[in-house]
Chains A and B, each alone.
Chain A
């Protein structure tokens, strides 16, 4: 019930509602009454006012009329004008009163009266009065009387009478009205009184009802409380109310119920207590009963068992007959002695401690004990000791009860032994089984030998044993040092084998060795047992020997062991067969897996039985493991989708696997996108005893063959093209010469062209053949010791006369001894130099650079020519791999030079490479192994300059005899100088401007145009080079005296090379000492 509901149903609220409604009713009806009475009174007073007004008007009318007639009579009697005037005024007044009257609310009678009056007035005013006036004027009184006789006076009197009557009537009406209003007021008072009584009555009823609804349940509640107090059951209807009383009811109800519940519970507890009391009484009686029983039992116990009583200190105070009977001690011998009289042989002192502990804590101890009787026999007793406690919980005595179980015990022991025996037999059987299992499932010889020996040892308790598989020399050993076994295996064991051949089994009895003897004081004998495992052909497969110390072998055991050996024979043969099969299988697998071809064997139903490693690699398929079958859908789709020719491969598989296909078939397909793998696959149907069992597919990677084929055909096409171009020229110009007449100049030009082209053709053929020979490995290399510097200088010598290019050598190699085919290296150098010259048409210099790096000599040929696009450098070493553009085409060449060079260099343990920047130039380098790399560099004074590569001192040699040049440079290089070779004076001068030289060695006899003197002059005339020391090296005697002054040293050929180097050393020393170079001319 919600609070809102509670509030709605609350008594307070209801009471308040009733009071409020009654109050509202009284207010409402009072107001209505008041308004109604007010209304009635106002209408009554209004009516009264109207009535009074009317009466007043009638009164006025009567007085005015009287006035008129009074004045008229006055006038007629007095004939006074004043009276006439007043008459007129009275007439006017009458007129006003009449009009006022006519405006009032009038009844029909009154209207009529009004009309008559008005008509009379009009008549009087317009007719009678003028006539009367005229009559007065005329003093005709007769006339006047006649006139008044005519009725006018009568009507006036009637009118007056009427007014009088009317006044009286009006007064009466007013009186009636007053009476009515008083009566009405009385009525209202009555009604109000009645109404009040009704309201009071209603209120009383409501209050009474509320009280009733309140008091009734309270009364009932009172009754219930009384009945609850009286302890009777409270039966209260559920009140359907939700007000305060209802809630009180509910709370009371709950209270009553809980009180009742509690009461019931108490009752139950009470009953239980009663029951417990009964039970206690029952127990007591039973206790007494059992006490008597115990007494009788004690008697029985005394008869059947040994009983003793000990004090808490363990001294016997009582012993029955049985106790002395069992122990053979007399009673008197027991009583007064401690328990130590009986020794328990099956308990140690620690066990005893535990027993005491248990007893001291009040526990009963019971166990089987063995003790020694007085006569020395061993007794088995079932002994129980019960401690007795006094009220303080302290032990005051022990009771000891014992039964003789000696006979039972011996039976038990017998039984246990039988059981043990059975257990052993069972174990043996299990071992036997184990052996059977092991030897039938073991496929490894060593494992077999170990297991077999282990079994034998367990089964026959050998102290040491040895099992040898004769053929594989596999041994299993127990209790014998390995060294001994090895010695036996290495040395001839033929003696034993020979004897075993004759005698399948034999045994030896011998004196035990020291170790076998152990601690035994007496002599111990050992028994060795030898036996063999032989196959059906009586070949010895294995040998078994075992020793037992001190135990011989029974005939039964020997028979058993021989049986064992037969079983071993079967197992060993089986292992041999397995190994053979396994070996064959492994061999097959290795063959199949190591073959380059991918092999796939597919069953007739499409299942793949076998796939080898090579095929897995081809198809990137690694789902297969040996022994699993792969369903057709799994492998076939993968293979087909992997290949680029899916449709063809699908068709090929379908056809090859079809049962109707009897012949082998093949196809080619490719795999991959960027690097195509070309595969040739052939299928062979496989039959076993006339039945088709499947199809063998062999996939062969023919990418190399395919590419070679492609390359070969490309090469053929390129070669034919390369040959056809010069041939076209030769044939064409020849034909023109033959068919036309032309000027001799033109003929010469044609012939020159023909010659050039034919030469080109020859070169091409030669180069091509060279390369073919080299590549096929037929080229012979005559390796000899040579100086690479010398070779380079020699080749450079051939270019000395070149008009366009100057070849410059910078020689930094300390060691340039190499073992090469000199001619071939010359071919390479010539090739590279001519390339450098050809491909740098706008430059005039080619630089050759020699230096050592690790154990190699490196030659770099550097030009500043056209250069090579980065992406094409790689293809340069291929045949016809020259850069394919118009510029290079103009330059010409066979396109085989670099390929040949690479071949030559690589055949002589060298490497070759190209560095190039397009538009800036190209450097081709090659390196060859240096012969004297391991030699220490010469320790020399000047070597300190030579150690740092960048700080080497530069010396230029301008000499056109290359052998001399070489000689000098070897000497100078040995001293750590970097030597630059030049043979052209002008270019030497230009070089001198670029590089700081410590000195320049000049030969006087140089070219035809300029000689050494010219160079010296040029150098001395230029401010940039004038300070460089110059050494002249010449065959001539000094002639030009002028120039001699600027020359540092004049060496006349021939001179020992040491002279030049010592001169240079001197120069360097001077420079180092003073910081400047001294010249003779300066002195």
Chain B
């Protein structure tokens, strides 16, 4: 019962914070909302839609049509309701995180539940975008609930949430393979004793293909629903999913793509867009194969890859990665440079808003300042990812202690 009190207190604190007056600097911050997740653009799109104009005919609105239909039918898009909704989503995500932890540890409840929930709800990378009502918080919620269902072996629920997540953010297709394999295995920690995946190729085909079929079925139904909302036009595909591949909007964000493509000659643009998109995809197979014994860890690493290399990241993405790290305490003693990673994160997260302000508000800096800070932030994310991979692998290697090999179970 102790956990319930802690959890309620955290959610109540978050709700109170959500209803405090939000400074404009946070509302329109480019670190907290990207062109794909900005609340102002969502409001714009809903307004246009409710006045009979196709919001996808312009270049402003890049949210999924499912959000359009949800906010014009079930819930009006008013500030107080949105704040409650976002707080509820964060609470659901924290709850799912705790559930994943409990399933991994094979306990009904543990003493760390409150800590894990706090590490999600109090993570500044996560609660600041949530205060700014960026829809990246909704994406995080969808992912965590999907993973929680997958750990519970509730395949249909997990696949439905993955389909919804794909509609909200197309780059989350990199999670499909690890989560499907997680569905056929178990979330219990096997990092210390890696063994090949339980199923051979034929068994894998038998287990995973139905899941893939179900995923495509759900995605098709959701696509049909989206096309229906837009009145039969498929313009939304290019504006929402196409944004990930075509990078039409070069608004600054904490990611690594935008500056590169501001400097790109049109001649080379298609080639480099393909390279960057493929880059995101090439991590899926190696990480999944290498961590086939612990697919929850593979999912966690994919979150790190997504945070570093996504086209339009916000601070929520590295925030998710850092909060997920709380699930894997067995790796902590094998981390090689946790303090360096933490310090570079601190450094980058302080430089990002500072240089953004210097560049765009006071005008005493230029774009290169902010670009440098995104590079620092990229180094921070990369350092964290590399350390996580190393620690995950090193957990399996026993440490020599005299005549004894000390391992871990």
Q: Do A and B bind each other?
A: no
Q: Which residues of B contact A (CB under 8 A)?
A: none
